[in-house]
Amino acid sequence: MAVTKFLVAAAALAAASAFAQTPLGNVVNVQGVVTATQGATGMTVAPGQVIQNGMRFVTTSNGTVTLRLNSGCTVTVPAGHGVTVLQSMTCQQLTAAVQPVVPVAAAAPAGTSAGLVNGIVAGGAALIVVQGVRTVLDDDDRPLSAR
């Protein structure tokens, strides 16, 4: 009896696992360099690659990728863009989810490096913390006199 319950539970778990891994579609066209990540796993994309739920596709500055989902939806991710494919998305939502990918260095003002900007931000935060500590430790508050 216990063995039967165990086998039923194992079969249900295996079916659920297989269901969770049902491909959502395939990559139909790749130009340049395109990467895909799912969780902590990353790979270079090639035509024919299976699209799984939660995969994120990112194109380089000269790469593009076309995704064809089993629903018939076809989405092209242009150069310098990314998209995360979720099973719950409609074609319209997936198309709208294709967004530009901004490198960290590009977020810095012209003529500065990301390291310099990060250093300035960290320095400002440190000054705020030091001032807060000084305020807390400042104990020379004397009571006001009635005069």
Give DSSP secondary structure letters for 92-127.
Answer: HHHHHH-EE---TGGGSPTT--HHHHHHHHHHHHHH
pLDDT of residue 21: 73
The structural domains of the chain, with segments of one domain joined by +, span: 23-101, 106-137
Q: What is the pLDDT of residue 114?
A: 52
How far apart are the two ends of the chain, measured CA to CA in Å?
Answer: 92
- What is the reported pLDDT for 103? 73
pLDDT at 65 (0 to 100): 98
Check residue 102 and give its pLDDT. Answer: 83
pTM above 0.75, yes or no: no
Asked whether 85 and 54 are in contact (CB, 8 A), the reply is yes
Q: Report which of 69, 62, 63, 66 is spatially closest to residue 34, judged by C-alpha positions.
A: 63
Q: Which residues of the chain have pLDDT under 50?
A: 3-19, 124, 127, 129-130, 132-133
